[in-house]
């Protein structure tokens, strides 16, 4: 086919010689191909835009304090760096392939570590899959379970990739919103992410005979709705509906160690009857402040996991061995220190809680109204006052207000954040375009730089 098209082109540009003829033939070949067949696969329709690409690029163009994309800008703990060094300079066989579904010491420690937490006997060979980050875990899961026409219930606001991953698999996203419920007594106080609730009847109404998967994210990105929001009662509601309608629950728990104010994370897989229908996703990037390592995992029953292994063996096949070895050492260390003050899972949330509180105080000083998160490393903040005062920002009217606001803030205030409407389905975006998301997993120096920019902003606001 390609050879035929090239021959036609060469025939058409026949009289031309040398390089020029080659270039014209290439151009003509390109035109012939695009005319003859549709190049992008249909599964890419409508998903070419990506907010992380757009806003990270924009932030890089300006002199900003970057509080947008979620990554720590401080070093990982020493033990994690040493583990990676050991993996790189130790056994030379760690430079080679390992087992397709995970480096054995890693699958073994994940099985024993999470087995205790979930109250479940976990087999390293059949109940654990190591993936390229939690992104890889999500993609493998959607490809393995979602078929043409299957419905996937997505609770919004949601980590944005759930929608394109559903669509790419041929599924139909069905959205249900968390909504802020304010009691009059709370007026004047800061809102809390636990006040964003699911309406039980609305949630129940979203289940149909076509529902295959419900995806849960707790603690939630971008809201930080954590263990208190997704209280045991809320999780039981979701669990009950999944069981009643024979639906698989995919639970994205990448921020499970980032919970504040002494709360405890609850995994839905630990509720009665849920292990058999739940896939639990985690990320070493969030767990050990090493987002660049891109090690993630899925835990679940073999009857679901075997389909994920089919996708994995025919796509990635195998994840980088050294990064897996380092993560295995980190979990082995955490297993020994579990629950003690020396545990990173105890230290990290304490440190990050200070960052959260610092940011909350600072944002309030310019009239922003943060919603206090119980988990994750993000907070959303209400920009309604700005929307009223500055309704005509460039682009307002063409796109949701929060997107114009973030662009304006990057260019004029030197602060980068992420508009919250990117975490909503298209019909809801206008309803939630008065929030933006800040990331607070940042070094003290970054938070102080933020303070200086906010102080300057405050001075500009003076009449």
By CB under 6 A, name the binding residues for ligand GLN: 52, 69-70, 221
56 binds ligand PMP (CB under 6 A): no
Kindly write out the interface string for residues 239-268 of this chain, putting x where it contacts ligand PMP by CB under 6 A and - elsewhere. -------------x-x--------------
Judged by CB under 6 A, the residue of 98, 140, 195, 221 near ligand PMP is: 221
270 binds ligand PMP (CB under 6 A): no
User: Which uninterrupted H or E stretch holds 447?
Assistant: helix 444-461
Nearer to ligand GLN, 224 or 227 (CB): 224
Q: Cα–Cα distances in Å, from 454 out to 36, 361, 364, 414, 448?
A: 55, 11, 10, 9, 10
279 binds ligand PMP (CB under 6 A): no
Are 250 and 213 a contacting pair, CB within 8 Å? yes
- Which one-letter DSSP state was computed for residue 247? -
Report the alpha-carbon distance of residue 419 to residue 433 in Å, rounded.
7
Q: Considering only 283-291, 397-405, 412-420, 441-449, which stretch makes contact with ligand PMP by CB under 6 A?
A: 283-291
Nearer to ligand GLN, 140 or 221 (CB): 221
User: Which uninterrupted H or E stretch holds 19?
Assistant: helix 18-36
Are 172 and 209 a contacting pair, CB within 8 Å? no
What is the DSSP secondary-structure string of 183-213? -GGGTTSPPBGGGEE--HHHHHHT--TTEEE
Report the alpha-carbon distance of residue 384 to residue 389 in Å, rounded.
9
Q: Considering only 133-141, 167-175, 263-271, 436-444, which stretch makes contact with ligand PMP by CB under 6 A?
A: 133-141
287 binds ligand PMP (CB under 6 A): no
Tell me which of ligand PMP, ligand GLN, none is bound by residue 177, counting a contact when its beta carbon lies within the kind-specific cut-off of 5 to 8 angstroms: none
283 binds ligand PMP (CB under 6 A): yes
Q: Cα–Cα distances in Å, from 71 out to 128, 288, 291, 440?
A: 26, 11, 7, 9
133 binds ligand PMP (CB under 6 A): yes
Report the alpha-carbon distance of residue 463 to residue 461 in Å, rounded.
6
Nearer to ligand GLN, 239 or 422 (CB): 422
Judged by CB under 6 A, the residue of 76, 164, 285, 320 near ligand PMP is: 285
Tell me which of ligand GLN, ligand PMP, none is bound by residue 285, counting a contact when its beta carbon lies within the kind-specific cut-off of 5 to 8 angstroms: ligand PMP
Integer Rg of the chain from CA: 24
Nearer to ligand GLN, 69 or 126 (CB): 69
Q: What are phi and psi of 266, to 5 degrees?
A: -120, 125
Q: Considering only 22-30, 129-137, 180-188, 322-330, which stretch makes contact with ligand PMP by CB under 6 A?
A: 129-137
296 binds ligand PMP (CB under 6 A): yes
Are 118 and 280 a contacting pair, CB within 8 Å? yes
Report the alpha-carbon distance of residue 132 to residue 283 in Å, rounded.
9
Three-class secondary structure of residue 12 per DSSP: helix
Kindly write out the interface string for residues 365-404 of this chain, putting x where it contacts ligand PMP by CB under 6 A and - elsewhere. ----------------------------------------
Judged by CB under 6 A, the residue of 192, 270, 291, 353 near ligand PMP is: 291
Report the alpha-carbon distance of residue 135 to residue 428 in Å, rounded.
24
Minimum gap (Å) between residue 71 Cβ and ligand PMP: 8
- Residues in contact with ligand PMP by CB under 6 A are 70, 133-135, 159, 217, 221, 252, 254, 283, 285, 291, 296
């Amino acid at each position: 086919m390609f050879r035929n098209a090239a021959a036609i082109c060469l025939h058409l540009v026949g009289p031309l010689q040398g390089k020029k003829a080659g270039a014209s033939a290439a151009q003509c070949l390109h035109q012939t191909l695009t005319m003859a067949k549709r190049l992008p696969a249909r599964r890419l329709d409508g998903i070419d835009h990506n907010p992380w690409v757009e806003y990270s690029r924009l932030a890089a163009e300006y002199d900003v304090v970057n509080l947008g994309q979620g990554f720590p800008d401080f070093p990982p703990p020493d033990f994690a760096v040493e583990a990676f060094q050991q993996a790189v300079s130790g056994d030379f066989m760690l430079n080679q392939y390992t087992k397709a579904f995970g480096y054995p010491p890693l699958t073994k420690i994940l099985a024993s570590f999470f087995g205790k937490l979930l109250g479940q006997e976990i087999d390293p060979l059949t109940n654990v899959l190591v993936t390229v980050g939690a992104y890889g875990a999500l993609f493998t899961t959607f490809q393995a379970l979602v078929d043409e026409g299957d419905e996937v219930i997505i609770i919004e606001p949601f980590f944005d990739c759930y929608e394109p991953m559903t669509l790419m698999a041929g599924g139909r996203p069905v959205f249900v919103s968390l909504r802020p419920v304010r009691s009059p007594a709370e007026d004047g106080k800061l809102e809390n992410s636990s006040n964003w609730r699911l309406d039980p009847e609305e949630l129940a109404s979203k289940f149909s005979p076509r529902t295959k998967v419900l995806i849960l994210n707790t603690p939630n990105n971008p809201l930080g709705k954590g263990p208190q929001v997704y209280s045991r009662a809320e999780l039981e509601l979701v669990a009950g509906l999944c069981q009643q309608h024979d639906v698989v629950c995919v639970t994205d728990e990448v921020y499970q160690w980032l919970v504040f104010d002494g709360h405890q994370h609850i995994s839905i897989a630990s509720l009665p009857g849920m292990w058999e229908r739940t896939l639990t996703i985690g990320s070493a990037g969030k767990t050990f402040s090493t987002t660049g390592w891109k090690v993630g995992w899925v835990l679940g029953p073999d009857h679901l996991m075997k389909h994920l292994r089919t996708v994995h063996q025919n796509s990635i096949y195998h994840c980088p061995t050294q990064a897996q070895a380092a993560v295995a050492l980190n979990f082995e260390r955490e297993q020994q220190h579990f629950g003690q003050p020396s545990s990173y899972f105890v230290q990290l949330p304490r440190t990050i809680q200070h960052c959260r509180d610092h940011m909350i105080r600072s944002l309030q000083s310019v009239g922003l109204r943060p919603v206090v998160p119980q988990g994750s490393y993000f907070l959303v903040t209400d920009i309604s006052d700005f929307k009223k005062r500055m309704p005509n920002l460039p682009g307002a009217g063409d796109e949701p207000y929060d997107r114009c606001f973030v662009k304006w803030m990057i260019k004029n205030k030197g602060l980068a954040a992420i508009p919250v409407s990117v975490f909503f389905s298209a019909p809801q975006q206008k309803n939630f375009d008065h929030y933006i998301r800040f990331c607070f997993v940042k070094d003290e120096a970054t938070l102080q730089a933020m303070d200086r920019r906010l102080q300057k902003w405050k001075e500009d606001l003076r009449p």
